């Protein structure tokens, strides 16, 4: 079903007014990759760029969702409006998903200044769904002051959140201390702020010093030196301090690094979009002519290999483009 253009405009206007139903429907259209998704994004894009986007990542069970609830409440006390996109994994077997992040954020669901969306990865790697970035954009365009993106319970390689967020918060908990070494390569490199959550538990100071020690070694970044904050999402301890650190980072970004990050991110995005366009155009042309299955068959029977086949396809495409 393709929406007529007037409906698209209505949706886009609704999003800009902050209407939750319009936001919800728009995100679904993008998530389902419906034909009008691209048009909608191009209409909303000029309205984006105002929100501060926070990325919250960390291993499963560290307390990300609970911490987000506390953060959002504190931000609401300070008069901010907030959008949350919370990602949970899709089953690679059934394609279904159990999205449970809202359980920790129940009190927020009826707050008019808060919009929360649960999103399944739909088997996209990297800790986010394919549509997460654009969902954050929709919330940005809807006028939210702060947009929070929560990754799946993430491990070493799930660092896609750096492509979406301005400030990355890695949430850890005591008891992971011995594993700190193991996660160093992935998460220890992307955090602008590290949170040791569950400060109400034992060994929190040990975890703090472990992380601080690890950061000393891992820090090669120029400029911003990652901070460690101790919080308890249960008691509320450290939440105000965390917000101050987030604000410090926001101010720091204004000094110039944000432009660099933004530029890098946009370049990556352009490359991705271009790759997809080129691939699609070649594939569609091949399929239309019925040559696609012949070629895959040739690779299967070892007549050629995938790389040579790709070379040939690309050369052919170049030729046709030149002729035009």
Partner 1 sequence: MRKKEKERKIRVVIAKPGLDSHDRGAKIVARALRDAGMEVIYTGLRQTPEQIVETALQEDVDVIGLSILSGAHSALFPRIMELLKKKGLDDVLVFAGGIIPQEDIPSLKKMGIKEVFGPGTPTSTLVEFVRENALKRR
Binding stretches for partner 1 (CB under 8 A): 1, 20-21, 23-25, 27-28, 32, 90-91, 94-100, 102-104, 106, 109-110, 115-118, 120, 122
Cβ nearer to partner 1, comparing 100 with 223? 100
CB of 119 to partner 1, least distance (A): 9
Structure tokens at 292: 């696609």
Buried-exposed string 180-194: b where 16+ CB fall within 10 A, e elsewhere: beebbebbbbbbbbb
CB of 268 to partner 1, least distance (A): 27
CB of 234 to partner 1, least distance (A): 16
Report the alpha-carbon distance of residue 28 to residue 66 in Å, rounded.
25
> Within 13 Å, how many C-alpha atoms sit on residue 214's CB side?
22
Strand order, beta sheet including 146-150: 114-120, 82-88, 146-150, 52-57, 167-172, 193-196, 227-230
Crossing angle of helices 64-77 and 239-252, rounded to 10°:
80
CB of 187 to partner 1, least distance (A): 26
Report the C-alpha dihedral over residues 118, 122, 126, 129, rounded to 10 degrees: -40
CB of 247 to partner 1, least distance (A): 27
CB of 298 to partner 1, least distance (A): 26
Report the alpha-carbon distance of residue 176 to residue 62 in Å, rounded.
9
Report the alpha-carbon distance of residue 212 to residue 217 in Å, rounded.
9
Cβ nearer to partner 1, comparing 109 with 275? 109
Report the C-alpha dihedral over residues 236, 238, 244, 247, rounded to 10 degrees: -70
Cβ nearer to partner 1, comparing 28 with 203? 28
Residue 257 DSSP class: I
CB of 190 to partner 1, least distance (A): 27
Cβ nearer to partner 1, comparing 79 with 96? 96
CB of 324 to partner 1, least distance (A): 32
CB of 163 to partner 1, least distance (A): 23
Cβ nearer to partner 1, comparing 30 with 183? 30
Cβ nearer to partner 1, comparing 117 with 198? 117
Residue 101, Cβ neighbours under 10 Å: how many? 22
Give the three-class secondary structure for 274.
helix
Cβ nearer to partner 1, comparing 115 with 194? 115
Structure tokens at 165: 């967020």
Q: What are the DSSP calls for 111-123, one per residue?
A: -TTEEEEEEE-TT
Structure tokens at 145: 């002051």
Q: Are 84 and 78 in contact (CB under 8 A)?
A: no
Cβ nearer to partner 1, comparing 22 with 167? 22
Cβ nearer to partner 1, comparing 19 with 74? 19
């Amino acid at each position: 079903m393709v929406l007529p253009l007037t409906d698209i405009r209505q949706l886009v206007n609704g999003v800009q007014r902050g209407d939750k139903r319009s936001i919800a429907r728009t995100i679904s259209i993008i998530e389902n990759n419906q034909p009008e998704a691209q048009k909608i994004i191009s209409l909303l894009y000029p309205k984006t760029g105002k929100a501060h986007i926070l990325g919250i990542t960390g291993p499963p069970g560290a307390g990300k969702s609970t911490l987000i609830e506390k953060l959002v409440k504190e931000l609401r006390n300070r008069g901010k409006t907030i959008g949350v996109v919370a990602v949970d994994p899709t089953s690679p077997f059934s394609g279904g998903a159990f999205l449970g992040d809202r359980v920790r954020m129940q009190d927020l669901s009826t707050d008019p200044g808060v919009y929360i969306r649960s999103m399944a990865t739909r088997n996209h790697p990297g800790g986010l769904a394919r549509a997460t970035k654009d969902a954050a954009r929709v919330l940005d365009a809807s006028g939210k002051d702060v947009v929070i993106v929560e990754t799946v319970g993430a491990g070493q390689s799930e660092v896609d959140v750096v492509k979406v967020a301005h400030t990355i918060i890695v949430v850890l908990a005591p008891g992971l201390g011995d594993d700190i070494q193991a996660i160093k390569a992935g998460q220890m490199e992307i955090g602008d702020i590290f949170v040791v959550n569950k400060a109400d538990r034992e060994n929190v100071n040990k975890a703090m010093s472990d992380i601080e020690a690890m950061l000393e070694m891992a820090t090669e970044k120029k400029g911003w030196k990652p901070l460690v904050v101790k919080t308890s999402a249960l008691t509320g301890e450290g939440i105000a301090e965390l917000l101050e650190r987030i604000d410090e980072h926001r101010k720091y970004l204004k000094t110039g690094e944000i432009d660099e990050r933004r530029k890098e991110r946009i370049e990556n995005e352009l490359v991705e979009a271009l790759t997809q366009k080129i691939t699609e155009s070649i594939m569609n042309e091949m399929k239309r002519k019925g040559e696609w299955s012949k070629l895959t068959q040739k690779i299967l029977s070892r007549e050629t290999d995938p790389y040579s086949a790709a070379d040939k396809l690309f050369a052919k495409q170049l030729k046709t483009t030149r002729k035009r």
